[in-house]
Amino acid sequence: MRSPGNLLISITAFAALVSGCGDVTSSAPIQPSAAAATTTPSGEPSIAAPSSAPPTGAASATVAPTSVGELTLVAREWDVPAGSHPHDVAPAPDGGVWYTGQLVATLGHLDPATGAIHEVRLGSGSAPHGVITGPDGNAWITDGGLNAIVRVDAGSDEVTVFRLPSAFPDANLNTAVFDGDGILWFTGQNGMYGRLDPASGDMDAWEAPEGRGPYGITATPDGDIWYASLAGSHIARVDPATGEATVVEPPTPNQGARRVWTDTGGRIWVSEWDAGQVSVHDPASGTWEQWPLPGVRPQAYAVYVDERDIVWLTDFEANAIVRFDPSTEAFTSIELPTEDARVRQLLGRPGEVWGAESATDKLVLITEE
């Protein structure tokens, strides 16, 4: 491991409402339900599904089921407005799903039961990348176009913008995660990472120890922050108290660590884009394990670990979502209904795994039935 050479820049971020950001292009305003939010080991809220039955009301396509022992895996798709290029998804408190319309500067909300879409405009120049649900039940967005963290109120559609420090004018914001203390941590591919205190608006930002690359990010049950560096082919642990990042090198050189997710034991799972494999790092022992994805020339983009520690990945080459059970080391590939879907991110809640099909303007749901 190499020690970092970080530059700390601390500011108090100003929160400004974007003119016209509450405009709605379809459907009625999002109304949060009384579903209770809890925090997963990754620090991202998990909202109990409103029903044990999978939402099937308006799926535009369903693929033939895939069997895993006694389980049946089903993939269903929902259309979003053409040209949206949905990048990331996040289960919403009302049982719906938020997604970022990266090419149309919107936060979208899908009601899976009806297929209804509701959109909130984020403002001129917006290019939203990631979205997660915060402990407050609102949507939190990393917006590369605005070079800002954006909050959208789930009830009123009010948009609040927290701009990055002037020292990072083009961070190329990527992904965010909440820690157990309600602090938002985020990455920028142009060589930075940072944190925002939503209560005060205070923001800190640091230069990444090896420059360009910070991409996926996760928070462990113990409160540590880890990010993956795609360009740097490493992962890094961030000390939440000091913000200092320490690089940890995976055993496979030039593997292209893209996204990371913690399991309930605090192990760090990594999707390795260039190596076509999934790996796991145990910070307690310093050990690594890795497994190539099935098929020819796999491209592992997203990784998500559910509440049972089942690992889910996306494979661009196979046009599939891949289920990996660490207890048996068994992979199962679920074919996507639409060709060349390019699912860039996964997130879920108990019983549901959601992804955004960036190339087909669809959202996809995987359920076990």
Is the Cβ–Cβ distance between 103 and 84 less than 8 Å?
Answer: yes
**Per-residue confidence (pLDDT) for residue 55, from 0 to 100:** 56
Amino acid identity of residue 173, one-letter, is: L
Model confidence at 61, pLDDT cuts 50, 70, 90, reads: low
Torsion, CA 265, CA 267, CA 273, CA 278, rounded to 10: -70
- CA pair distance 295, 335, nearest whole angstrom: 13
Superfamily of the domain at 8-25+38-50+58-368: YVTN repeat-like/Quinoprotein amine dehydrogenase (2.130.10.10)
**Per-residue confidence (pLDDT) for residue 42, from 0 to 100:** 40
**Per-residue confidence (pLDDT) for residue 54, from 0 to 100:** 53
- CA pair distance 298, 318, nearest whole angstrom: 7
- CA pair distance 126, 150, nearest whole angstrom: 10
**Per-residue confidence (pLDDT) for residue 369, from 0 to 100:** 81
How much is the average pLDDT of 138-145?
98
> In this predicted model, what pLDDT tens digit does every residue of 21-55 receive, in sequence order?
333 223 222 222 222 223 333 444 333 333 344 55
What is the average pLDDT value for the chain, to the nearest integer?
A: 86
Task: Please provide residue 230's backbone torsions phi and psi, each rounded to the nearest 5 degrees.
Answer: -65, -50
- CA pair distance 140, 125, nearest whole angstrom: 17
> In this predicted model, what pLDDT tens digit does every residue of 84-93 receive, in sequence order?
999 999 999 9
> In this predicted model, what pLDDT tens digit does every residue of 237-264 receive, in sequence order?
999 999 999 999 999 999 999 999 999 9
**Per-residue confidence (pLDDT) for residue 64, from 0 to 100:** 60
The answer, yes or no, to whether residue 143 has pLDDT greater than 90, is: yes
Its pTM stands at 0.84
Amino acid identity of residue 28, one-letter, is: A
SS (H, E, C) the chain: CECCCCCEEEEECCEEECCCCCCECCCCCCCCCCCCEEECCCCCEEECCCCCCCCCCCCCEECCCEEECCEEEEEEEEECCCCCCEEEEEECCCCCEEEEECCCCEEEEECCCCCCEEEEECCCCCCEEEEEECCCCCEEEEECCCCEEEEECCCCCCEEEEECCCCCCCCCEEEEEECCCCCEEEEECCCEEEEECCCCCEEEEEECCCCCCEEEEEECCCCCEEEEECCCCEEEEECCCCCCEEEECCCCCCCCEEEEEECCCCCEEEEECCCCEEEEEECCCCEEEEEECCCCCCCEEEEEECCCCCEEEEECCCCEEEEEECCCCEEEEEECCCCCCCEEEEEEECCEEEEEECCCCEEEEEEEC
The answer, yes or no, to whether residue 270 has pLDDT greater than 50, is: yes
How much is the average pLDDT of 311-330?
97
Is the Cβ–Cβ distance between 168 and 174 less than 8 Å?
Answer: no
Question: What is the domain partition of the chain in residue ranges?
Answer: 8-25+38-50+58-368
**Per-residue confidence (pLDDT) for residue 65, from 0 to 100:** 75
Model confidence at 69, pLDDT cuts 50, 70, 90, reads: confident
Q: What is the DSSP letter of 25?
A: S
Out of 59-63, 168-172, 360-364, pick the least confident. Answer: 59-63
Model confidence at 17, pLDDT cuts 50, 70, 90, reads: very low
How much is the average pLDDT of 220-231?
96
> In this predicted model, what pLDDT tens digit does every residue of 284-299 receive, in sequence order?
999 999 999 999 999 9
